[in-house]
Amino acid sequence: MKPCDKNIKETFKLVDLMIDLANRGDAEREDVGCGIIYGILRDSAFKIKKLADQEKEAHIRKGWWADKSGRQDRSSTDNYK
């Protein structure tokens, strides 16, 4: 797998962490200011995920994206569509 594809996969992991933190933080917050922070974090994660999905699809079309067996891998962390 190309390094640029590995970086996209890492981006999906980061997005998952961002959404988990936003959800946990929002559930545990004690004031409105924290709610704003976690809302922005969640929105940012979804925007980043959308861009990463688009870039992954571009890499698939170029024939770059492959799983460990060499087949094209169309999976991602599609928990958010």
Burial class of 75 by CB neighbour count within 10 A (0 to 12, 13 to 18, 19+): exposed
Q: What is the pTM of this model?
A: 0.79
Q: Are the beta carbons of 65 and 73 closer than 8 angstroms?
A: yes
Q: What is the pLDDT of residue 71?
A: 52
Say what the pLDDT of residue 45 is.
98
pLDDT for res 67: 62
For helices 32-62 and 3-28, what crossing angle results, to 10°? 160
Q: Domain locations in the chain?
A: 3-62
- Taking the chain (81 residues) in consecutive chunks of 10 residues, what is each chunk's mean pLDDT? 94 98 97 97 98 97 74 48 38
- Quick one: DSSP state of residue 78? -
Rounded CA separation 20/36 (Å): 16
